[in-house]
């Protein structure tokens, strides 16, 4: 039996090749976007006082949907607990289920709720304006929408046309104008008979 005929060695070589193919290459843009979508977070600060007191520990707030909000006084960081701080074998409160099933909605619903929660916290702190620093883009967008709805000036977020479209949908949802949801694609004028 030669070395190449040894099954253990063959498996070892195959595993080594797989690891080099998977890990010894650059991540693609779509892979980065996918990973970010699994770890949504938001980081903002008071525009008037953006400096952190490094000796101060943050106040940790756990939201109703189980996400963690870290209040540093003049900066706020928010992330989903089961994504960033998951304890092995323990179920998190922030389940990716709809509200009727006992969960807290989809991840989209959860990060939207948390972005609005963070902006409510900003309003309680009486910040006049905020810097939207970094995070998962759709969550940044929701923070911008929430801040604009509360007349809080934002910096470092340049909304796109798509952002304004989402703003209009969120505004309609908040005003109760989309329940039951309008379905313009399925309206009688848009349905072709075959």
Indicate if 7 and 74 belong to the same structural domain.
Answer: no
Q: What is the pLDDT of residues 80-102, one digit of tens each?
A: 865 544 433 344 444 445 544 45
> How far apart, in whole angstroms, are the C-alpha atoms of residue 121 and residue 127?
9
Indicate if 122 and 144 belong to the same structural domain.
Answer: yes
Indicate if 8 and 61 belong to the same structural domain.
Answer: no
Indicate if 25 and 113 belong to the same structural domain.
Answer: no
In this structure, of 110-114, 123-127, 178-182, the range with the lowest mean pLDDT score is 178-182
Indicate if 93 and 33 belong to the same structural domain.
Answer: no
93 vs 25: which has the higher pLDDT: 25
CB atoms inside a 10 Å sphere around CB 47: 18
Find the domain containing 18 and state its range.
1-38
Residues 6+ apart with CB under 8 A from 99: 105
What's the pLDDT at 20? 75
Q: Which two tokens stand for residue 164?
A: 């304004």
What's the pLDDT at 82? 57
Q: What is the DSSP letter of 63?
A: -
Q: 3-state class of 143 per DSSP?
A: helix
Indicate if 93 and 140 belong to the same structural domain.
Answer: yes
Indicate if 85 and 129 belong to the same structural domain.
Answer: yes
- In total, how many domains does the chain have? 2
Full-model pTM:
0.70
Indicate if 25 and 48 belong to the same structural domain.
Answer: no
Share of the chain above pLDDT 70, in %: 77
Specify whether the backbone of 176 is left (phi greater than 0), alpha (psi in -120 to 50) or beta. Answer: left
Q: Is the peptide bond before 180 cis (omega within 30 degrees of 0)?
A: yes
Mean pLDDT throughout 53-63?
Answer: 89
Indicate if 169 and 181 belong to the same structural domain.
Answer: yes
Indicate if 19 and 59 belong to the same structural domain.
Answer: no
15 vs 183: which has the higher pLDDT: 15
Indicate if 25 and 115 belong to the same structural domain.
Answer: no
Indicate if 55 and 112 belong to the same structural domain.
Answer: yes
């Amino acid at each position: 039996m030669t070395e190449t005929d040894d099954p253990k060695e063959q498996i070892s070589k195959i595993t080594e090749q797989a690891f080099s193919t998977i890990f010894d290459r650059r991540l693609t843009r779509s892979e980065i976007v996918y990973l970010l979508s699994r770890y949504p977070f938001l980081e903002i600060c008071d525009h008037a006082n953006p400096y952190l007191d490094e000796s101060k520990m943050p106040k940790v707030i756990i939201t109703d949907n189980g996400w963690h909000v870290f209040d540093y006084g003049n900066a706020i960081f928010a992330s989903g607990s089961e994504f960033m701080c998951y304890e092995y074998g323990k179920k998190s409160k922030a389940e990716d289920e709809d509200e009727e099933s006992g969960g807290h909605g989809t991840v989209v619903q959860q990060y939207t709720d948390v972005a609005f929660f963070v902006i409510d916290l900003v309003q309680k702190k009486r910040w006049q304006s905020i810097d939207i620093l970094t995070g998962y883009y759709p969550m940044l967008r929701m923070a911008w929408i929430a801040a604009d709805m509360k007349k809080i000036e934002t910096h470092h977020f340049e909304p796109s046309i798509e952002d304004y479209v989402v703003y209009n949908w969120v505004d309609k949802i908040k005003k109760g104008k989309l329940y039951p949801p309008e379905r313009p694609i399925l309206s009688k004028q848009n349905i072709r008979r075959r």
